[in-house]
Amino acid sequence: MSSITHLVKETIRGIVIGVANIIPGVSGGTMAVSMGVYDKLIEAVTDLRKNFKKSLIFLLPYIFGAVLGIAALSFIVRHALQAWPLQTAGLFIGLIIGGLPVILKNFRGAKINIGHVLLFLAFFLLVIFMSLNKDIESTATDFNLNAFMMVKLFAVGMIAAATMIIPGVSGSLVLMILGFYNGIISNISHFIEALLAFDMAGILHGLGVFIPFGIGILIGIALIAKLIRWLFSNAPISTYAAITGLILASPFAIMIETGISTTRLGTLAVAIILLIIGLAISAYMSREQA
């Protein structure tokens, strides 16, 4: 594979991870696992200080892709979820379950005990519980910036980052539960509009939101990545059991989020086609990383 082709594929994976992180019910960590790059991303993050150049070179296309996905595609994805919720859900469910073989192969030859089963069930039910209890979200779409709000944004950024990189746990869903999802998504679009219009007041307001939030995200990622790497080294089967529970619950979380009970046959057919397409894309991406 040429270096250009490899770089493009890594950037596309970053876009998928970024887009996933702005969809309630969908986990960016799950997408990374499904595409077979999760452990490599965790390793690069935890080795950033020790092998700065190597880790940064690996991470850059993913960072660029994630930022591009969030900035450029957030409007499209939000519209798609509103206009075609079942079809969009089908695509993302396909992307998630298409990478399950990458996870399940880690159980080959392992002795599964009751503890592993209980971990699987606990984390499966955690995602379902979070999905069913998202109705406490604040309806605010903007933040009154002051010192206290900036501290809250920093803390929320840490929590969101930690959940965003845990497979199966939707960072956006956590933001909903904390009451910050509408505000963060709204400020992303307002900040982009301010940049395009050279609106300094809007730009400064956006920076006031995203600097503390972004610092919280970076610290949260660094802390949780170290913990996850330790778990993979010291309790791999237990860790994979928990991750499998999180991942298998994600399709249910997505369907709960879409809130669909009945649909037309044509809509269902399109959703199934998109699910198959998602399966194929995820299987191909994960095979490329195997």
Phi, psi of 180 (to 5 degrees): -115, 0
Domain range holding 265?
3-289
Distance CA 56, CA 59 (A): 5
Distance CA 42, CA 151 (A): 27
pLDDT band at 9 (very low <50, low <70, confident <90, very high): confident
φ/ψ region of 146 (left if φ > 0, alpha if ψ in -120 to 50, else beta) reads beta
pLDDT band at 78 (very low <50, low <70, confident <90, very high): low
Distance CA 290, CA 288 (A): 6
Average pLDDT, the chain: 80
pLDDT band at 290 (very low <50, low <70, confident <90, very high): very low
Distance CA 182, CA 289 (A): 35
- Strand (E) or helix (H) holding 12: helix 3-20
- Most confident stretch, 35-44, 153-162, 205-214, 258-267: 205-214
Under a CB-based contact definition with an 8 Å cutoff, are residues 231 and 106 in contact? Answer: no
Question: Concatenated DSSP letters for 205-269?
Answer: HHHHHHHHHHHHHHHHHHHHHHHHHHHHHH-HHHHHHHHHHHHHHHHHHHHHHHT-----HHHHH
Question: Domain count of the chain?
Answer: 1
% pLDDT > 90, the chain = 9
Average pLDDT over residues 10-21: 84
Residue that wins the pLDDT comparison between 216 and 163: 216
Distance CA 184, CA 181 (A): 5
Residue that wins the pLDDT comparison between 259 and 254: 254
Q: Degrees (nearest 5) of the Cα angle 143, 166, 125?
A: 95
* Whether residue 212 has pLDDT greater than 90: yes
Contacts with 82 (C-beta within 8 Å, 6 or more apart), sequence order: none
| pLDDT tens sequence across 88-130 | 888 888 877 877 777 788 888 888 999 999 999 998 998 788 7
Determine the 3-state secondary structure of 170 from DSSP: coil
pTM of the model: 0.65
What one-character DSSP code corresponds to residue 166? S
% pLDDT > 70, the chain = 84
Residue 26 is encoded by which pair of tokens? 């969908």
